[in-house]
Amino acid sequence: MKVYLDTTISSYAASLKETPETRVSKKLFSLMKKKELLPYVSFVTLQELKDTKDTEKRNRLLKTLNSVSPNIIRPSKQIRLLATKYVASGIIPKKYQADALHIAAAVISGVTTIVSWNLRHMVNIFVKRKVNSINIAEGYPQVDLVTPWEIIPPEGE
């Protein structure tokens, strides 16, 4: 299965703190290393990671992401236009346009599962419904906006 990773996923997977979220993010990366999931990221993800001011943290984030050799989605006019529609419709606030770009990059590239810890602007039922209504109206596929919990098989299965 193809999965689009936003910046939050690498942040949790590379975190030095042990929390349930970091553990499941690391499990997600383990599945990608085994090629059970095919990771995709966009120019937005890479730019956000590169913009991390703390050099040590930035290097750790990039090393973690690069460990799964993700497919990289390049910028395009289609991505920017679709992201603009998400913002113009009020789904994603203009201030958080990068979140709209994450979603649009996945949609335009045919990656229908977006994995994120961003519960405010991405992974919630209201955003999912509105994004998918725009996608349908524009002739694009529907997407699933999920946390890592939703795509990690339960232990022992």
Do the domain assignments include residue 8? yes
Residue 20: inside a domain: yes
Q: Mind spelling out the 3-state secondary structure of 57-101?
A: HHHHHHHHHHCCCCEEECCCHHHHHHHHHHHHCCCCCHHHHHHHH
Residue 148's pLDDT band, with cuts at 50, 70 and 90, is very high
Residue 16 resides in a domain: yes
> Domain limits at 41?
2-150
Q: For the chain, what is the domain count? A: 1
Residues 103-130 have pLDDT tens digits of 999 999 999 999 999 999 999 999 999 9
Domain-embedded: residue 47: yes
Note whether residue 157 is domain-resident.
Answer: no
> Do residues 89 and 59 lie in contact, with contact meaning Cβ atoms separated by under 8 Å?
no
Which band of pLDDT confidence, cut at 50, 70 and 90, is reported for residue 157?
A: very low
The answer as to whether 155 is a domain residue is: no
Check residue 89 and give its pLDDT.
Answer: 95
**pLDDT by residue (tens digit) across 123-140?**
999 999 999 999 999 999
Instruction: Return the CATH number at 133.
Output: 3.40.50.1010
